[in-house]
Chain A
Amino acid sequence: MKHALILPILLPLFTGGLLLVLHQLSLTVKRAISMLACWALLPIAIWLVLLAGDGELRTYALGGWQAPFGIVLVLDRLAALMLLVNAFLAAFALLYACRGDDEQGPNFHTLFQFQLLGINGAFLTGDLFNLFVFFEILLIASYALLLHGNSARQVSAGMHYVVLNLLGSSFFLIGISMLYGLTGTLNMADLAVRVGNADAGRAPLIAAAGFLLLVVFGLKAAMVPLHLWLPKAYATAPASVAALFAIMTKVGIYAILRVFTLIFGSTAGAVANLLDGWLWPLALVTLAIGILGVLAARELRQMLAQLVIVSVGTLLAGIALGSVQGLSAALYYLIHSTMVAGGLFLLADLIVRQRGNEGGRLVLAAALRQPLLLGSLFFFGAISVIGLPPFSGFLGKLMLLRAVEPGYSALALWSIVLIGGLGMVVAMSRAGSLLFWRAAYDPKDESIHAPKSDGLRLLACIALLSCSLLLVILAKPLQTYIQATAAQLLDLAPYRQIVGGGNA
């Protein structure tokens, strides 16, 4: 069916609109509608992954206007994979939210659906300006979701996030319009052709536009030095929103991957492989700073936010390698880090709920109500996120370390990743022992009477964390798919044929 491509955009759009119109309905009905739409994205995404699995590029010309004159959606393996990751994460984040997070303010479900609309659209679009529009949709929904719950801390963290992203949008527009002024097109595939054919005199300007786009996507992806907004924002967001935000940095990573392999990739003439020599040091610095942040964090959710930065650094390192091995390591790590980060944010909320006044601060507090259950989950998540065997983090890091060619770059990456791993072990075990072991058991203490964790909340958290195990069990077929994805990304000829009829 040829309209399948637009379903992941239309479904959240109409659900969001419907929920907005029917806002006076009871919360139960709204939850049911929202859950139904969100879980329906899963089979659609699986279907699209199967469709894309044959390696053909599918395009969908909106309104029947063919590329490069109209806006097209493009489905390749990467887009389908990202849609599936997003659908899976969102399904369980929403399940968690339905147990209370959505009561803290009006229109939570509408915003959640619009957030999904923006994310899915950004993954599917084949047009640079359309990418900007979907970025804005996901951003404005994320502003409101971030401030959901209305505490003063959220307002101050939200201010940084909003102002920085508005500035980023301005940069994005400058970059896009420069590219348009120089090449006369906004379709990514067409841009790839025209940038490749541009005369050398225009190369510096095109390169400038490319680097402006890197700044924008780097800001979204929380690449050092544009990462400062992230820890505060993620640490103050409601748990389900923070879990969904685990994919927001990956939207930036996706955009870097898309734009800099397609438009500024190997066929870009004078600006070919624009990021060579830039992305690699940035990735390593991001990794190192992230690890220092993990060690320095004094609050549980701040620490998890710093772990997100570490994962961004790891992903960028894989992309910077530029080879099929490097890209497939990055993609595997992307799935792993999104799921585990989402699961850990949910787990942190479950822990904080049983800690009374101390909340997430890493100080001595009374014992938890369910130390064994939450402790084992934390142990499981920590091992996975640090990258110790036998979980998916280990496989991802191993793939990355094997992808790098021997030499100085290998020396740098191996030492940062391995020493960083040690740093994360120290930080996580310090946090874990403080949270679960060093607490004094005092029967008169009120936190013993804290309510037990809600069953569905636990289910959502466990489902996301157990993805780590699933990724290991399914490593073989996944690896095949991901390597095909990376190979497809680097083979630009089919993309360039999208323009001018192609297989539209």
Chain B
Amino acid sequence: MEAVFAITLGIMAASGVYLLLRARIFPVVMGLTLLSYAVNLFIFAMGRLGTGVPAVIGKSTEYGDPLPQALVLTAIVIGFAMTAFVLVLALRGLGELRTDHVDGQERRK
């Protein structure tokens, strides 16, 4: 399971970085989103992977680490707010600058 998990994270992070480097607003936002998904899963994995382990102490002999789950929740909320902000900013940029390049102007040919 660890290998599959790691490869998935790797692919997501790599796609995120690739999209970020496209330097167009929409791919950049998608890239940031993918990257934050990868990061959230990574935080989750740092509490050790396991199946059938409840996050509550006393229900079974083994229990999952609840702290990373709390961290992931916080990270998701913050990431969500930030993505919303970038999207609004991107729309403003598109309206005011008439281009979707992140530099605010098309690259000179």
Binding site for B on A (CB under 8 A): 129, 133, 136, 140, 143, 147, 152-153, 155-160, 162-163, 166-167, 169-170, 173-174, 176-178, 180-181, 186
Question: Roughly how many angstroms separate A376 CA and B6 CA in the complex, as a whole number?
Answer: 62
- The contact string, 1 if C-beta is below 8 Å from chain A, for chain B 29-41, is 0001001100110
Inside 8 A of B74's CB, which chain A residues have their CB?
Answer: 129, 133
* B86 contacts A155, C-beta separation under 8 Å: no
Contact among A155, A167, A170, A174 for B93, CB-based, below 8 A: A155
Inside 8 A of A155's CB, which chain B residues have their CB?
Answer: 89, 92-93, 96-97, 104
Question: If A155-B89, A167-B20 touch, does A181 touch B82 (CB 8 Å cutoff)?
Answer: no
A selection of 24 A-B contacts at a CB cut-off of 8 Å is A133-B74, A133-B78, A140-B81, A152-B104, A155-B89, A155-B92, A155-B96, A156-B93, A158-B89, A159-B25, A159-B89, A159-B93, A160-B102, A160-B103, A163-B20, A163-B28, A163-B86, A166-B32, A166-B36, A170-B35, A170-B36, A176-B71, A177-B71, A180-B46
Question: Roughly how many angstroms separate A136 CA and B40 CA in the complex, as a whole number?
Answer: 16
Inside 8 A of A181's CB, which chain B residues have their CB?
Answer: 45-48
Question: If A173-B75, A177-B43 touch, does A166 touch B96 (CB 8 Å cutoff)?
Answer: no
> Closest B-chain residue to A178, C-beta based?
B46
Question: Roughly how many angstroms separate A278 CA and B4 CA in the complex, as a whole number?
Answer: 35
| Closest beta carbon of chain A to B89's beta carbon, Å | 6
| Closest beta carbon of chain B to A369's beta carbon, Å | 32
> Closest B-chain residue to A133, C-beta based?
B74
- The contact string, 1 if C-beta is below 8 Å from chain A, for chain B 65-81, is 00110010011001101
Question: If A163-B28, A167-B20 touch, does A173 touch B43 (CB 8 Å cutoff)?
Answer: yes
* B85 contacts A177, C-beta separation under 8 Å: no
Inside 8 A of A153's CB, which chain B residues have their CB?
Answer: 104
Main secondary structure of the interface of B (DSSP, over half): helix
Question: If A147-B89, A177-B43 touch, does A167 touch B32 (CB 8 Å cutoff)?
Answer: yes
> Closest A-chain residue to B104, C-beta based?
A156
8 A-B pairs with least C-beta separation = A156-B104, A181-B46, A177-B43, A177-B46, A152-B96, A173-B39, A170-B39, A155-B93
Binding site for A on B (CB under 8 A): 20, 25, 28, 32, 35-36, 39-40, 42-43, 45-48, 67-68, 71, 74-75, 78-79, 81-82, 85-86, 89-90, 92-93, 96-97, 102-105
> Closest B-chain residue to A144, C-beta based?
B85
Inside 8 A of A176's CB, which chain B residues have their CB?
Answer: 43, 71
| Closest beta carbon of chain A to B29's beta carbon, Å | 9
Inside 8 A of B89's CB, which chain A residues have their CB?
Answer: 143, 147, 155, 158-159, 162
* A169 contacts B82, C-beta separation under 8 Å: yes
| Closest beta carbon of chain B to A393's beta carbon, Å | 34
Question: Roughly how many angstroms separate A129 CA and B104 CA in the complex, as a whole number?
Answer: 34
Contact among A140, A143, A167 for B35, CB-based, below 8 A: A167
* B92 contacts A136, C-beta separation under 8 Å: no
Question: If A156-B97, A170-B39 touch, does A163 touch B71 (CB 8 Å cutoff)?
Answer: no
Contact among B48, B78, B104 for A159, CB-based, below 8 A: B104
| Closest beta carbon of chain A to B90's beta carbon, Å | 8
* A174 contacts B39, C-beta separation under 8 Å: yes
Inside 8 A of A158's CB, which chain B residues have their CB?
Answer: 89
> Closest B-chain residue to A156, C-beta based?
B104
Question: Roughly how many angstroms separate A163 CA and B81 CA in the complex, as a whole number?
Answer: 13
Contact among A157, A169, A177 for B68, CB-based, below 8 A: A177
Contact among A129, A133, A152 for B97, CB-based, below 8 A: A152
Inside 8 A of A147's CB, which chain B residues have their CB?
Answer: 89
Inside 8 A of B20's CB, which chain A residues have their CB?
Answer: 163, 167
